[in-house]
Amino acid sequence: MVSLWDDYSTTNAYDEMRHSANQARPSSQRLSGYLDNLGRTALEVRKTAAEHAIMEMGITFTVYNEEGNIDRAWPFDIIPRIIDNKEWVGVEIGLKQRLKALNCFIDDMYNEQLFIKENLIPAYIIKSSKNFLQECIGMRPRFGAWANICGSDLIRDKDGTFYVLEDNLRVPSGVSYMIENRVITKKVFPELLQDLDVLPVDDYPAHLFEMLLSVAPAHRETPRLVVLTPGIYNSAYFEHAFLAQQIGAELVEGDDLIVLNDDCVYMRTIDGMERVDVIYRRIDDQFLDPEVFRKDSVLGVKGLIRAWKAGNVSLVNAPGAGVADDKVVYAYVPEMIRYYLNEEPILPNVPTYLCSEPEQLNYVLKHMEELVVKPANESGGYGMLIGPHATQEQIAEFRQIVKAHPRNYIAQPTLALSTCPTLCDDHLEPRHIDLRPFILQGESSYVTAGGLTRVAMKKGSLVVNSSQGGGSKDTWVINTGK
């Protein structure tokens, strides 16, 4: 009999499901066999069912292009990605450890700056960081947690080790898709989820809610939570509405809020002004408060920073947390873990060359063809160079840019991201993936079971961002028994 796996050829990269073309990893044996039994035709039927569900549920994201904003259906591949819980337990501890250290670092940067005084990081890196906000100096958010919500991107290299590629500490997105992907999978493969011990992911909103309550200003008895969105044209609007709904918070825009003379934040309701205690803001620092940051911001709320500094409202994530969301600062995270927590890092960083250091810059300029060069402060995969896939002209151009602004760039070896079987037309092919788990830190810490797996749908591509043609997969952390 012809097997679905007959023409599945693993590449040099680590494949999440198959040791080799004809052998499944232990945690994936059931799934492999199941898919094989199902066969190609049935798989296509399930795929169509998933597409319908996505349309009907209205799971979309917004992309910008020349024609304006377009609401696109969420790109989803029905073949799940499996992680053995035995392995995941370690990753989870590693992620909590990492966020704890990052929060210690942020708190330190806005207060004593011991990490600089001990010569563990050059002072100029912080001074020149555009995410370091003077206004935040001296602030101490509750539990020392500045970044309450973090989305760290993990990748697996050839040998199967998980590496942290970056930590998104500003307004990380994607968690709603993680939850919706599972809802869709339940519709598409109900029989399979019943038979396997897959950890649930839909408890995230409950943990988010708890965390938000835990950081409310201390004296408020039943704190009022809101989600602050830039509005319907934001690419993650769907997620903002989804999360507000899930945690029972009001979804507000800048105009809905006002800071009065008592330095408290209120929202405009049909009953008049109502006090707001915790703002889960999905607006970047620069747009939060035209009184302090960008004067032209129409998304923010005048006086918000004043209210925050007076301790009358909690902002999540705290303004200024982005100082640690900088690819140069990233390189120092292992040292932060050692310094603040007195522990050894559990999850390794990807080796990183800092263009701000002359010797490392020289290396980068010489080896650009093999490296990935990234701007220190952008997100969404914009403005980067993937050496092995770039033309000579692009490389030459990047050399000039990097030389002109070394502080703004870092470089990393091109890692062979792991692959996962992905449905391409009517058969399975390996496609590169990464993983974004979400970590919460308030009074206590929490990590999602798995996270959002993003997949580069184009053959050989390493770009997984949904804004650039990436898709996603449901992620199953499963208990395999012993």
CB of 227 to other proteins, least distance (A): 8
CB of 244 to other proteins, least distance (A): 4
- In the bound state with other proteins, the residue whose beta carbon lies nearer, of 13 and 225, is 225
Q: Which residues contact 298 (CB under 8 A, 6 or more apart)?
A: 254, 290
- In the bound state with other proteins, the residue whose beta carbon lies nearer, of 267 and 313, is 267
| Dihedral Cα 451, 457, 459, 465, nearest 10 deg | -70
Token output for 408: 């703004």
Cα separations in angstroms, 15 against 160, 187, 218, 395, 452? 9, 26, 48, 30, 17
Cβ atoms 145, 39 nearer than 8 A: no
CA distance 102 to 147: 8
**Exposed, middle or buried: residue 95 (CB in 10 Å: 0-12, 13-18, 19+)?**
buried
CA distance 206 to 339: 33
CB of 226 to other proteins, least distance (A): 9
| Residues near other proteins (CB under 8 A) | 55-58, 227, 232, 241-242, 244-245, 248-253, 255-256, 267-272
- Tally of helices (H runs) and strands (E runs) in the chain: 14, 24
- In the bound state with other proteins, the residue whose beta carbon lies nearer, of 57 and 116, is 57
CB of 270 to other proteins, least distance (A): 5
- In the bound state with other proteins, the residue whose beta carbon lies nearer, of 104 and 175, is 175
Q: What single-letter amino acid sits at 131?
A: N
CA distance 443 to 225: 17
- In the bound state with other proteins, the residue whose beta carbon lies nearer, of 138 and 248, is 248
CB of 201 to other proteins, least distance (A): 17
Q: What single-letter amino acid sits at 37?
A: N
CB of 442 to other proteins, least distance (A): 21
CB of 274 to other proteins, least distance (A): 9
- In the bound state with other proteins, the residue whose beta carbon lies nearer, of 43 and 267, is 267
- In the bound state with other proteins, the residue whose beta carbon lies nearer, of 227 and 376, is 227
